[in-house]
C-alpha cells in the first residue's frame, strides 16, 4: 500500500503577454484543481485498496471529465517527503485519446550531452594528431573530460532516484509516450458514495 499524496493539477493555457513587443501570446500553467490527501486515498486503488483508478488511462478520463481537453501537469507532494515531483504530464483530447508527454532535459543532462560532444571531438583530434606534445595534452584533456562525464552521470542518477512519476499509484500503459484510448473506470458497480466523487 502506498501513502496518500496531494496532487496539484495545472492546465496549459495561452495568455496575452504584458508588453507585447515581441510576442502577443505566451503559455502559462494555471491551477485548475487539487486532489487532497483524503481524496487520493479514495481515488487510487493502490493507496487503500478501495479506490477505482488503477491505470493512467483512468486518470486521463477523470481529467477529461473534470477539466476538459488540454495539456495537464500534475505535481505531487507526500507527507514526510521533501519537495514535490512531477506526477504526470499528459495531453488529453476530446476524442477519447490521451498521450503522456516526456519531461524536458535537466541542465545536468544538457551539460553531459555537451561534454560528450567535446569528448568525441577530442578523440577525433587525437587520432589525427602526429605531434607527441599535442597528443599528450589531448590525452590529459580526454581524462578530464571523462571525469566530468562521470560527475554529471552521478548527479543525474542521484536526482533520478528521487523522481518516480505516477508509480506506484497508477500503472502506465505501454508504450508510455504513445497515444492510448481512455478507459472507463466506473463501468463496474460502485456504491453511491463513490459515485459522488467521480
The predicted pLDDT at position 194 comes to 46
Summarised one tens digit per residue, pLDDT across range 123-173 is 998 898 888 888 899 899 999 999 999 988 888 777 665 556 778 888 888
Summarised one tens digit per residue, pLDDT across range 66-91 is 999 999 999 999 888 788 888 899 99
Ranges of each domain in the chain: 5-18+26-104+163-197, 107-158
The predicted pLDDT at position 186 comes to 61
Summarised one tens digit per residue, pLDDT across range 18-65 is 887 888 888 999 999 999 999 988 888 888 777 788 888 999 999 999
Alpha-carbon distance of 5 to 171, in angstroms, equals 16
What is the grid cell recorded at 80?
Answer: 514526510
User: How many other C-beta atoms lie within 10 A of the C-beta of residue 28?
Assistant: 11
Q: If DSSP codes are grouped into helix, strand and coil, which group holds residue 111? A: helix
At 59, give phi and psi (nearest 5°): -65, -40
DSSP string, 56-88: HHHHHHHHHHHH-SEEEEEEEEETTS-SEEEEE
The gap from C-alpha 126 to its chain's centroid, in whole angstroms, comes to 39
The predicted pLDDT at position 105 comes to 77
More confident call, 122 vs 166? 122
Amino acid at each position: 500500500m502506498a501513502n496518500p499524496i496531494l496532487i496539484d493539477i495545472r492546465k496549459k493555457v495561452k495568455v496575452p503577454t504584458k508588453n507585447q513587443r515581441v510576442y502577443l501570446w505566451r503559455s502559462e500553467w494555471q491551477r485548475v484543481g487539487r486532489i487532497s490527501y483524503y481524496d487520493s486515498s479514495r481515488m487510487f486503488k493502490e493507496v487503500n485498496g478501495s479506490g477505482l483508478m488503477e491505470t493512467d488511462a483512468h486518470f486521463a478520463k477523470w481529467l477529461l471529465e473534470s477539466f476538459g481537453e488540454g495539456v495537464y501537469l500534475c505535481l505531487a507532494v507526500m507527507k514526510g517527503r521533501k519537495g514535490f515531483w512531477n506526477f504526470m504530464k499528459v495531453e488529453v483530447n476530446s476524442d477519447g485519446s490521451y498521450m503522456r508527454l516526456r519531461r524536458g532535459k535537466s541542465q545536468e543532462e544538457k551539460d553531459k550531452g555537451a561534454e560528450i560532444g567535446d569528448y568525441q571531438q577530442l578523440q577525433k583530434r587525437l587520432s589525427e594528431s602526429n605531434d607527441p606534445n599535442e597528443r599528450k595534452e589531448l590525452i590529459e584533456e580526454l581524462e578530464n573530460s571523462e571525469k566530468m562525464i562521470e560527475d554529471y552521470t552521478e548527479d543525474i542518477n542521484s536526482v533520478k532516484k528521487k523522481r518516480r512519476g505516477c508509480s506506484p499509484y497508477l500503472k502506465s500503459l505501454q508504450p508510455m509516450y504513445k497515444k492510448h484510448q481512455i478507459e472507463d473506470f466506473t463501468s463496474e458497480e460502485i456504491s453511491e458514495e463513490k459515485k459522488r466523487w467521480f
